[in-house]
Amino acid sequence: MPIPKDLTQPLSARVHTQATSTRTSGRINCSYPFACLSRVLGALVTLLTMLALKRHYSQASADQLDWILAPTAKLLAWFTPAHPAYESGVGYADFALGIIIAPACAGVNFMIMAFGLGALCGVVKIRSISRMGIWLGISMAVAYGATIIINTLRIYVSMVLYNADIYGVWVTIERVHRLAGIGLYFSALWMLFIVFQYILRFGTLSIGAKAMGLPVWLPLCWYLAGAAGVPLANLLFQQGAPLLLEHLLTVSIIAPIVWGIAVWCHRLLSTAWHYASFPYRSFIER
């Protein structure tokens, strides 16, 4: 009976080989206490941070939200004809163009969703406590910067749509504004999902977990949970069931459509890049 090859090696060599294969595998083995601890702590810190931001946003005034309203107003002034000026207790306004950047336009809810999505990607892939802390900081910085950019774009799109001659009985300003917000915010969330994936794949924070891929439906479910699940209780008690039903139907229809277009475009571009780079890859392999 032949002796297995592994048993012919010394015990120390076999232990070293098993440990190396475990470290380089694509899955996080929770037999290592630090791997489980980093995931639990990362999820806990993420949840507490999201709740703290939500509580701060729900109770904050325009002056207390200046940390996000001011950069948005400056960016809007740089790239659009608007020149919002600070109005105490209101936010930033350009009354000549009818623009008011109030707390409702701060985009903090999107920032919370973006940070949570980035943190979730890290919780799945990272198994080091120190790297998890670094990744949460990166996720917050990326979410903050992306929120300012996408919120500025949303305000500019609202300016253009406000003057558009497309409104009627069913096509109201409020509905068009809601559709534009859903399309822009979810598209931005999808792009952030791809950015987070690339950072984790090519960075050094997720060593030993690069083979793990996250499902493409994750940003869709995450957005639906944030855009439909979180406002469920608020709208139910504050604005009544009819507006709640319209909001949920709009989110449930528009978000999957945008997701499907994004997935199709991503796969089309990936296929095009594969065939376009084939001659170069063949030359390199030869």
- Per the listing, tokens 């296929």 go with 271
Tell me what the mean pLDDT of segment 243-272 comes to.
70
**Residue 237 pLDDT greater than 70, yes or no:** no
**Report field, pTM of the whole predicted structure over 0.75:** no
| Tally of CB atoms within 10 A around 274 | 10
Tell me what the mean pLDDT of segment 142-162 comes to.
91
pLDDT band at residue 147 under the 50/70/90 scheme: very high
Question: For position 158, what pLDDT does the model report?
Answer: 85
Angle subtended at Cα 276 by Cα 272 and Cα 280, rounded to the nearest 5 degrees: 150
Question: For position 244, what pLDDT does the model report?
Answer: 58
| Tally of CB atoms within 10 A around 92 | 24
**Residue 105 pLDDT greater than 80, yes or no:** yes
Among 26-40, 67-81, 159-173, the minimum mean pLDDT is found in 26-40
pLDDT digits (tens, 9 = 90+) for 177-207: 888 888 898 889 989 998 898 888 776 565 4
pLDDT band at residue 164 under the 50/70/90 scheme: confident
**Residue 2 pLDDT greater than 80, yes or no:** no
Question: For position 112, what pLDDT does the model report?
Answer: 92
pLDDT band at residue 238 under the 50/70/90 scheme: low
**274 half-sphere exposure, CB direction, 13 A CA radius:** 6
Among the ranges 3-17, 78-92, 163-177, 216-230, which has the highest mean pLDDT value? 78-92
User: 187, 188, 248, 256: which is closest to 221 by C-alpha?
Assistant: 256
Alpha-carbon span 119 to 113, nearest angstrom: 10
Tell me what the mean pLDDT of segment 76-87 comes to.
89
More confident of the two residues 280 and 218: 218
Let me know if 87 is exposed, middle or buried by CB neighbors in 10 A (0-12, 13-18, 19+).
Answer: middle
Question: For position 24, what pLDDT does the model report?
Answer: 43
Question: For position 231, what pLDDT does the model report?
Answer: 61
Alpha-carbon span 86 to 22, nearest angstrom: 56
Q: What residues are paired with 87 via a beta bridge?
A: 91
User: 211, 267, 230: which is closest to 21 by C-alpha?
Assistant: 211
Tell me what the mean pLDDT of segment 15-27 comes to.
45
